[in-house]
Amino acid sequence: MTVALEIYNSLWAMEDLPYRGEPWTLGEQLDRLAAAGFDGAAVDLGARRRPEAAALAPLLRERGLGALVFAFVSSDVDLDAALRYAECIGAYRMVVCGCIFGEDAAVAGAVHRWFRRCAEAGVAMQLETHRNTLTDDMRRTTRLLGELDEQVRLAIDLSHYVCGSEFPVPPTAEIEGHLERLFARAESVQGRIATRCQVQIPLGFPQHREWEALFEQWWVRAFDAILERRASTADSEPVLFCTELGTTPYAITDRDGRELSDRWADTLTLRERAMAAYAAAHLGRISS
């Protein structure tokens, strides 16, 4: 059974591009994604320049691009609005950042309700590992997984944990144990590289190389875990990787507020590295 890799890019990550030039229109952004070989676009419903669903839908269809929705959800009302947006643009997958806090059992109850509501709407929900959400702490998240049905899977973005918990290099055995539990519930991977003090770094700086290598290793492990589950269940659903190099304040700037690197060039580099990580995970499974 062959399981394909699909690579999407966040439209939030297309804001303020090109590098130090006149901003691309929405149509131009999508043209760049299609020309570069991306499979689709992800819409962050909390982005400053979120496109209207009715305007975006035909542009995606014209270019043969798929759609994905990222939603920050604090209530059933928020979720229903996100589902309406997803329906309009033809998205069958949604990544949810749950903005609720409380006892694990109460939080798990809300997540299960959202998961069922998405399933009823024909949308596959994933829960993102993200700061200032119900998964903001790696240790709490692995504990919460014990309360959640196995069907609730994760969108893995380790940049939030590396920065939020100030991971050392190399990570401790305790941290590695938590990561293994997260990978075991992974459904997709998000592409951003962080250090223990910065949530998003430019690529290619010598002082960042150890972090770039570490994230690439983690992506291989996450892909391997997803492929293992696909094989065990005879599931041929494509594996999703989403590059998400955000505009300011995620992007590091100089004293004049200008970004230090070309995020579009970095996005294309991350796409190539994701493909290499997926190939390595696939080859490792064949070899074993």
The confidence band for 2, taking pLDDT boundaries of 50, 70 and 90, is confident
Give every CB contact of residue 10 below 8 A, 6+ residues apart in sequence: 41, 42, 43, 44, 70, 242, 243, 244, 246
In whole angstroms, what is the distance from residue 49 CA to residue 43 CA?
Answer: 10
pLDDT of residue 288 exceeding 80: no
Mean pLDDT of 145-158: 97
pLDDT tens for 88-106 read 999 999 999 999 999 999 9
pLDDT for res 283: 85
pLDDT tens for 231-284 read 999 999 999 999 999 999 999 999 999 999 999 999 999 999 999 999 999 887
- On whether the CB atoms of residues 125 and 115 are closer than 8 A, the answer is yes
pLDDT for res 287: 73
SS3 track for 39-72:
CEEEEECCCCCCCCHHHHHHHHHHHCCEEEEEEE
pLDDT tens for 49-81 read 999 999 999 999 999 999 999 999 999 999 999
pLDDT of residue 285 exceeding 80: no
pLDDT for res 274: 98
pLDDT for res 263: 97
Structure tokens at 200: 């998003």
